[in-house]
Amino acid sequence: MFEDLIEKLDGSIRRLRGTGKLTEKSVAEAMRDIRRVLLEADVHYKVARTFVQRVQERAVGQEVLRSITPGQMVVKIVHDELVRLMGTAHQSIHFSSTPPSKIMVVGLQGSGKTTLSAKLALHLKRQNHVPLLVAADRVRPAAVEQLETLGQSVDIGVFSENESPEALCKKAVIEARKRGNDTLIIDTAGRLHVDETMMRELSSVAKAVKPEEILYVADGMTGQDAVHSATAFLERLNFHGVVLTKMDGDTRGGAALSVLEVTGRPIKFVSMGERLDALDVFYPDRMASRILGMGDVVTLVEKARETVDQKQAERLAEKIGKQTFTLEDFLGQIQQVKKMGSVQQLMSMMPGMNQKAMKGISADEETIQKTEAMIHSMTREERRRPQIIDGSRRKRIARGSGTGVQDVNRLLKQFQMVQKMFRQLANMRKGRLPPGFSIN
């Protein structure tokens, strides 16, 4: 996400970051460069101009010019203005005091509304809500079947009847009360462009169910087009927030940086991939940090809490203490990490991981797949006692996993290093320091 923007913006402000003394001229030159970078990222030209003006006005103030580290001060100003541009604070979904809360998902055809509806339902389910999906898209062929399939995959009910969208949604509210659902997520029909028929249909549904939340779904990869479509939509239907989809494929970032300034509506979620759990709550401050290569440790920790099995973590700690960590445990840790997302996504949340540092990370994804294949090709005894894996066994494991003997050797060597590290950690917990370590 934002790969081009992050790389180019990093280059633009690197000179300022290491500068001992700033002048109005050096700041002006840097701002021209940043404005060009924003325009290349498909940020709306008015937004880019206003952003640069704000940064420049603050950057040439006496407080900054007289600062001990003026370059770092300018970086902080850029960060603060990025946060301001994207909304200052996270805007949460509105819920009704009397269930069910109604959430309408609207947008153009092809923006990913149906998948987003299922992702949102799963997100709310994990927050202890009891959502019901409503298949109100009666226009796109197979839209109802797609939502039903997605609903089954996350064990969430889907309400569908051969009625007009307005009548269907009225019935869905009654059905939700019967079933005990506290949230309705209504997947509505889209068109290739904003037209009279589409808006009339959406307006009638909105009047019928009076939703607490209307979310406009925009294809993040379309940049300014997504912002223009949102603006046209807003003239006909007053939505409350924006969800940007397909952000894992958006290397520019123009939509994310422009949508609030142009429409006045905040981004509430970003969809980061095809998996149904690939939906992130949008926090402007965290996103600004990632754009400037500062990472996003808070989101990384939250993902770990959501995906890591606490009981399994406790068992692992016990095994480390007893020094009985096996290849089966090693495989379990790999699978835990995979649940958190792609390697690139996790690395982008770590401070200091700029685009250069992440070059070739795709190879690590392949390495993870190879490692899984090799461990799965071992017998249970081999996983528990890797020291018995001799030359002939290594050849068999390589053949079974579609890898080479060198790959098997590399895996076993890496595992030995991990075991050694865990032994040292266990010893340090017991007060025994490894050779060469001392405490003064």
For residue 186, list its beta bridge partners.
104, 134
Query: Does residue 299 lie within any of the structural domains?
Result: no
The residue among 229, 159, 164 whose CA lies nearest residue 195 is 229
Is 272 in the same domain as 163?
A: yes
* Residue 415 belongs to domain with CATH number: 1.10.260.30
Helix 45-59 with 254-263: angle, nearest 10 deg: 90
* Prior bond of 131 cis (ω within 30°): no
User: Rounded to an integer, what distance in angstroms lies between the CA atom of residue 334 and that of residue 288?
Assistant: 29
**What sections of 41-110 are H helices per DSSP?**
45-59, 62-65, 70-86
Domain holding 63: CATH number?
Answer: 1.20.120.140
The whole domain housing 76 covers 3-86
For 9-54, write each residue's pLDDT tens digit.
777 777 666 666 677 787 888 888 889 888 888 888 888 999 999 9
CB 216 within 8 A of CB 235: no
Average pLDDT over residues 318-338: 69
Do 142 and 285 belong together in one domain?
yes
pLDDT digits (tens, 9 = 90+) for 279-312: 889 988 888 887 776 655 555 555 555 555 556 6
Half-sphere exposure of 206 (CA within 13 A, CB side): 18
How many Å is the Cα radius of gyration of the chain?
A: 26
Shared-domain flag, residues 78 and 127: no
Domain final residue, candidates 251, 272, 294: 294
221 in the same domain as 118? yes
Q: What is the pLDDT of residues 123-154, one digit of tens each?
A: 999 999 999 999 999 888 889 999 999 999 99
What is the pTM (predicted TM-score) of this model? 0.69
Tokens of 351: 């401070």
Sign of CA dihedral 174, 180, 185, 188: negative
